[in-house]
Amino acid sequence: MGIPEEKLIDVFKSLLEKDKEEVLDFAEYLKQKRSKKIENFIKSIPEGSEKLTEEDLKSIEEAREDYKAGHVYSIEEIEKKYNIE
């Protein structure tokens, strides 16, 4: 469940120019903060702790194909799935 984009746009349009700059700065801050959380989560996964099975390799290949096809998750979906706050 998300906020309708139209509502955000309407509120943004009603702001003074200097307030729009602050909103943009804050939105960019939030975007960086979320990206950093994902990056830290990925970095926390130990490398080489287990050998890859044939099933793992197949899953990785399927993930690559999904990515190429544009079947990806938003940051919000990943955070929800992995309980990242």
Query: Where do the domains of the chain lie?
Result: 5-81
Distance of CA 14 to the CA centre of its chain: 28
Model pTM greater than 0.85? no
Using one digit for the tens of pLDDT, what is the confidence trace for 18-59? 999 999 999 999 888 888 888 887 777 777 667 778 898 898
Q: Given this model, what pLDDT does residue 77 score?
A: 83
Q: Are 14 and 3 in contact (CB under 8 A)?
A: no
Q: Given this model, what pLDDT does residue 49 score?
A: 64
